[in-house]
Amino acid sequence: MFTGIIKVFILSLVEGLTEFIPVSSTGHMIIVDQFLQLSKNEEFANAFKIIIQLGAILSVVVYYWKRIFPFAKGLSQSQRMDIVQMWVKIVIAVLPAIVLGLLFDDIIDKVLFNSVVVAIMLVIYGVILIWLESREKKKGGITSITQMSVKTAIGVGLFQCLAMIPGTSRSAATIIGGVLLGLNRVLATEFSFFLAIPTMLGATLLKLVKLGTALSGYEWFLIALGFVLSFVFAYAVIKVFMDYIKKHDFKVFGYYRIILGIIVLVLYFMGAIK
């Protein structure tokens, strides 16, 4: 039991550190699980990786409470209306992921949750991030969600669907999509955070419904522990990450992804991981 708790602590730390930066938290969880296997029960292991992400996402709710809750104290009527409009755009943006998630969730779990897929996606989107930051920058750009059109919100939502492939990174896909559609770097990142709330809530509920009573009480305990720990670790990361991107670009994450992806492929072909 103690060994399981230690493994959950490490996996939750990895989740919390990687959920919001564009390096793929799910991809890292799959890789770490190769060396630190939480369980031989693949159904439980996959559920754990998905559900504890919601714990990390809920840290956004706490951190940005006054930005996302229209009835928070101290807000003007205008600010409340802006938040309501923001949620309309977020709900519309998340619809593509809901539809595709319901259709392909089982296929994704069975076919794509492996190290090779993760490694390839790490490299591909690492290259895209570097290319994105190497382009000639346009001045200005959309700086607030109130300036975003519904069409732009849907576009970002469609980019988010790319993250259903492990190793892509939900934050990387939405940030890349947002920047390509005219959002500045900070807004693209914040909208990625907000869009994650209903996305991961839906993914978690879908996973819970499918699991039913298939897991043991101990396995549910490990999931609950991972949920809480990932919340704590992710909350600590948000401010540091936001402060970083206000002064720096995403290239470092692109290089990191490429190096990690190559290392994973080498380890796979050497037989060190599967």
| Domain assignments of the chain as residue spans, ordered by start | 1-270
What percent of the chain shows pLDDT beyond 70?
Answer: 97
Residue 136 has pLDDT above 70, yes or no: no
Residue 176, pLDDT > 70, answer yes
**pLDDT tens digits for range 187-243:** 999 999 999 999 888 888 887 787 766 788 888 899 999 999 999 999 999 989 999
Joined tokens for residue 1: 């039991």
Instruction: Please tell me which residue, 214 or 149, carries the higher pLDDT value.
Output: 149
Percent of all residues in the chain with a pLDDT value above 90, rounded to a whole number: 58
Give residue 141's pLDDT: 77
pLDDT digits (tens, 9 = 90+) for 100-132: 888 887 788 778 888 899 999 999 999 999 999
Confidence of residue 138 (pLDDT cuts 50, 70, 90): low
Give mean pLDDT, residues 141-152.
Answer: 90
User: Residue 213: its pLDDT value, please?
Assistant: 67
Confidence tier at 139 by pLDDT (50, 70, 90) = low
Round to whole Å and give the CA distance between 256 and 123.
9
**Beta-carbon count within 10 A of 254 CB:** 25
Could you give the CA distance from residue 215 to residue 78 in angstroms, rounded to a whole number?
A: 47
Q: What is the pLDDT of residues 49-91, one digit of tens each?
A: 888 988 998 999 999 999 999 999 889 999 999 999 999 999 9
**pLDDT on residue 13:** 95
Res. 29 pLDDT band, cuts 50 70 90: confident
Is residue 118 within 8 Å of 179, Cβ to Cβ?
A: no
Q: Residue 130 contacts by C-beta under 8 Å, 6 or more apart in sequence? A: 251, 254, 255, 258
With bands split at pLDDT 50, 70 and 90, how would you rate the model's confidence at 263? very high
> What is the distance between the alpha carbons of residues 145 and 135, in angstroms, rounded to a whole number?
24
Q: How many C-beta atoms surround the C-beta of residue 125 within 10 A?
A: 29
